[in-house]
Chain A
Amino acid sequence: MTTIALPARATLPIDTWQLDNGARVYFVENRALPMIDVSVDFPAGSGRDTKAASGLAGMTLGLMRLGAGGLTESQIAERLADVGAQLGSRFDADRAGYSMRTLSSATEREQALELLAQVLQAPSFAAAVLEREKARQVAGLREAAIKPESIAERAFATALYRDHPYGLRSSGEIDTVSKLTVDQLKTFYADHYYANRAIVAIIGDLSRDEADAIAHRLTDKLPHASNGVPPLAPVLPLKASVARDIEHPASQSHILMGAPGLKRNDPDYFPLFVGNYILGGGGFASRLVEEVRQKRGLAYSSYSFFAPYAELGPFQIGLQTRKEQAQEALGVVRETLKRYVDEGPTEQELQAAKQNLVGGFPLRIDSNRKIHDYLAIIGFYNLPLDYLDRFVANIEAVTVEQVRDAFRRRVHPDLMVTVVVGGPTKVQ
């Protein structure tokens, strides 16, 4: 086999440049497998939605592949399938975009990239397709409306973000999705899909020149925005704790607890990231799993995470447990969190966390797929190009005091959103 060395701490050879149309390209050449991964992302995620038209951003992205460049959705699907290419989409609070995985052989690659170019630059937004997709989405939303995990997530996000668009459901609401129009989609597309806001990430069996040509092909026909990306409103901290108790006939209660957390470019990123590994991110090595599952058998899954976005993403703790013992589990979580914030981690815990995160670094970049995901993130959030090279050093530099300090400043056990779906539990 041909090999590319991606050793633990050596530099990952990321090449980056900007096209004359303004798009930024992030590229890694890797000849080991005869395939290419390419993605193009835009600041057009659900954080760009409004309450009145919640779901518009996602529906816009979804429709782009369902008719473009004079091709019907079936023609696009058939031509993709004919060359074995895989077209995927990425959609979250910040980002919206498409990714393509194709063989690098000329015929296959040519056909796949031509389709991606059309989807990105010439979507047709057919009215009949929109009506059908609205109906399907509404059906899914109706189903979600009675699932305890979905109910909990909705109540949690709403309480966490109040009027901030991060609190909107990425798939919208039944009444807003039902009202979406082709004109709205076209306008949203025109307002958000600009060449000079595009992030192109490419990895695989091709040269820099070929990557450059592909990036042009995928973005040259997009318009140019005269202004920068409009900033999202900052997420405001919670003013008071929120407790929501929602009855549901399921056998388990779903418990979520949290608050606005951290940003991608956050000065506290590494202390909170490492600290969370110890609290609830490190599986069996974490305190939440130890207290909730290992010591007491209260739940199959218990966790905490920080989801970093452009603005404050959520800090979230979650578990599911037989509803009769929900109160007990909630008490254990609260006590565990409070103690962790009060006392911080032990030196031993911090060492164990570092051992895992540092020693496990090679696992983060041991496939094209994983490296490609990092390229897209580094590009979109303007992270330093040596982000991955410095990842290990940044982890190693974290101290017990930094974790304790960061958690004390950023996580307030007395100022949390707590949602329990199931009941009857009295959230206090």
Chain B
Amino acid sequence: MNFPSAWVTALLIAAAVVSPTLADQGDVREHVLANGMKIIVMEDHRAPTVASMVWYRAGSMDESSGATGVAHVLEHMMFKGTKGNAPDMFARTIAAAGGRDNAFTNRDYTAYFQQLHKSKLPLALALEADRMQNLVLSGDEFAKEIKVVMEERRLRTEDQPRALLFEQMMAVAYTGSPYKWPIIGWMNDLENMKVEDARAWYDRWYTPNNAALVVVGDVDPQEVFRVAEEKFGPIPSRELPGRKPQVEPAQRGIKRLVVKGPGELPYLLMGWHVPVLRDLEQDWEPYALSMLVGVLDGSDAARLDRTLVKEARIAVSAGASYDSVNRGPGMFFMDGVPAPGTSVAELEAALRAALRKVVDDGVSEEELKRVKAQVIASQVFQRDSIFYQAMQMGMLNTVGLPYDSTDLQLRKLREVTADQVREVARKYFVDDSLTVAVLDPQSVAPRAAAPAN
């Protein structure tokens, strides 16, 4: 299936081993158009295909109260026709060219991509350039599409107790940061959204100086620059509105919340405020936090699965995750499902004890070495996917980090010491910055109505 979607990395409660990197990456070339649009090209000649992505530095964190979800709604509307192309012609044209296309919205960005034969890249770039400047945004199309988005919210959030819990958790854990809003938006905001809201969003953020084109595949960088210049070059830049820092005020005490939802199993989610990467060379804490995730949850051999699931058997599952690449603030998550006979409180105590053990006893050289081995191997494995490589570069660039910094990030990860892991655990896993969210399952007995005729 092929649908524009809020590709919600916010729901990555599963383990994220380490921050994204691309060591030993292929040759990367950059060119900046006169209008400010950055073009990033990586050659990969293994197959005659290409992954092409346009990234806008505008995500749900750039929204305002009362209009949450508009970034994602506009993503949907970007498929709904331009002055020269009827609604849905974008997708149909890419499909007829043998391509696949989709888009995703996150807190930090909105991105649009095509995967196609290399000969079709100019077509994809022409279509992207067209919708960057000529979107129609008709009231009729909006009226239908906002209903689609509300169905998407029902599907992914309203009827998904853990997603609801996560949404509520973010709303409680953050006070001043726009990360407190769900990417897809509050239902009431969607119900009251107007096509003018989408128009205002488009006018504000969809300008070449707020965009980057990332192309990975069987291409000649100079040729890509030439075509990009031809398609995107004529689009005038516009002044971007100022962005307020909206720094999250310090939390001063533990926060707790409970969400009730249909289910059989309780679910526990804990989050601590932690830093993210801002200076790849000078920072060390985010790298240490990434290594800590690896020690706790980087593989089947990691601590949480081994101790809580396999040995003590007090959890059906237990995990840790941390994303070091964000425009906004960082959060370190731990989560788990208690085994039958274990209470949520006992699981919480066990997860806290796992962190306490890191603070008290540190981590072993063997564990660190193991995580580093996985980091190194995954650098190679990732190169099997041109799409993934384009994703990584687009994300880093959008967040404001050097997209060709993989070797540096890999080196910094390998330099992390056991003492540093212990130090970040000691410094950041304090109750005053902790939010604990619990899903309280409400049993529902589905019952079959009489079979219809």
Contacts and interface: CB of A to CB of B under 8 A. Distances in A.
A229 interface: no
Contact of A74 (B306, B375, B445, B453): B306
Contacts of B386: 366-367
Contacts of B49: 362-363, 366
B176 to A, nearest CB: 31
A209 interface: no
Contacts of A81: 298-302, 370-371, 373-374
Q: Is the interface of B mostly helix, strand, loop or mixed?
A: mixed
Contact of B446 (A76, A248, A303): A248
A148 B146 CA distance: 24
Contact of B373 (A84, A298, A321): A84
Given A32-B46, A81-B301, A84-B373, A428 B95 contact: no
Contacts of B100: 360, 363
Contacts of B11: none
B440 to A, nearest CB: 14
A309 B51 CA distance: 31
A210 interface: no
Contact of B148 (A73, A293, A367): A293
A251 B154 contact: yes
A97 B444 CA distance: 36
A388 to B, nearest CB: 13
A307 interface: no
A154 to B, nearest CB: 10
Interface string A393-428: 000000000000000000000000000010110111
A105 to B, nearest CB: 10
A77 B444 CA distance: 38
Nearest to B5: A300
A369 interface: yes
Contact of A284 (B2, B26, B300): B2
Contacts of B144: 294-297
Nearest to A74: B306
B314 to A, nearest CB: 11
From B44, B79, B95, B116, residue with most partner A Cβ within 10 Å: B95
Interface stretch (B203-211, B258-266, B421-429): B258-266
A248 B449 CA distance: 10
A284 B88 contact: yes
Given A83-B373, A145-B264, A369 B155 contact: no
Interface in A355-376: 355-363, 365-369
Given A81-B373, A136-B316, A369 B385 contact: yes
B26 A424 contact: no
Contacts of B378: 84
From A78, A102, A244, residue with most partner B Cβ within 10 Å: A78
A7 B49 CA distance: 9
A199 interface: no
B451 interface: yes
A239 to B, nearest CB: 15
A224 B158 CA distance: 53
Contacts of B374: 81, 84
A247 B154 contact: no
Interface residue tally of chain B, by bracket? 35 or more
B79 A284 contact: yes
Contacts of B301: 74, 77-78, 80-81
Contacts of A360: 98-100, 116-117
Given A80-B300, A81-B301, A362 B385 contact: no
A303 B373 CA distance: 41
Contact of B299 (A30, A80, A300): A80
Given A360-B98, A367-B384, A300 B152 contact: yes
Interface residue tally of chain A, by bracket? 35 or more
Nearest to A248: B446
Given A294-B144, A362-B49, A245 B44 contact: no
A320 B151 contact: yes
B380 interface: yes
Interface in A291-341: 293-301, 303, 320-322
B402 interface: no
A252 B236 CA distance: 44
B62 interface: no
B446 A252 contact: no
B226 interface: no
Nearest to B26: A1
Contacts of B2: 282-284
B385 A248 contact: no
Contacts of B99: 356, 359-360, 363
Contact of A33 (B48, B79, B146, B383): B383
Given A142-B265, A248-B446, A101 B381 contact: yes
Given A85-B377, A142-B265, A300-B152, A362 B147 contact: no
B20 to A, nearest CB: 16
Contacts of B150: 322
Interface string A125-158: 0000000100110011011011010010000000
Nearest to B45: A3
A385 interface: no
B11 to A, nearest CB: 16
Contacts of A34: 380
Interface string B252-293: 000000000011110000000000000000000000000000
A248 B444 contact: yes
B411 interface: no
Given A77-B300, A424-B449, A285 B48 contact: no
A62 to B, nearest CB: 12
A243 interface: yes
A189 B117 CA distance: 44
Contacts of A76: 300
B337 interface: yes
A252 B48 contact: no
Interface in B114-153: 115-117, 120, 143-152
A247 B376 CA distance: 50
B449 A352 contact: no
Contacts of B375: 84
Given A78-B301, A84-B374, A33 B384 contact: yes
28 contacts: A1-B46, A6-B46, A78-B370, A82-B373, A103-B377, A139-B339, A142-B265, A146-B443, A245-B452, A246-B447, A246-B449, A248-B446, A250-B262, A251-B154, A252-B154, A294-B144, A296-B144, A297-B148, A298-B147, A298-B151, A300-B155, A301-B155, A322-B151, A355-B95, A359-B116, A360-B98, A360-B117, A366-B386
Interface of A: 1, 3-4, 6-8, 30, 32-35, 73-74, 76-78, 80-86, 101-103, 108, 132, 135-136, 139-140, 142-143, 145-146, 148, 151, 242-252, 282-285, 290, 293-301, 303, 320-322, 352, 355-363, 365-369, 421, 423-424, 426-428
Given A77-B301, A297-B147, 8 more contacts: A34-B380, A81-B373, A146-B446, A244-B452, A245-B451, A297-B151, A356-B97, A367-B385
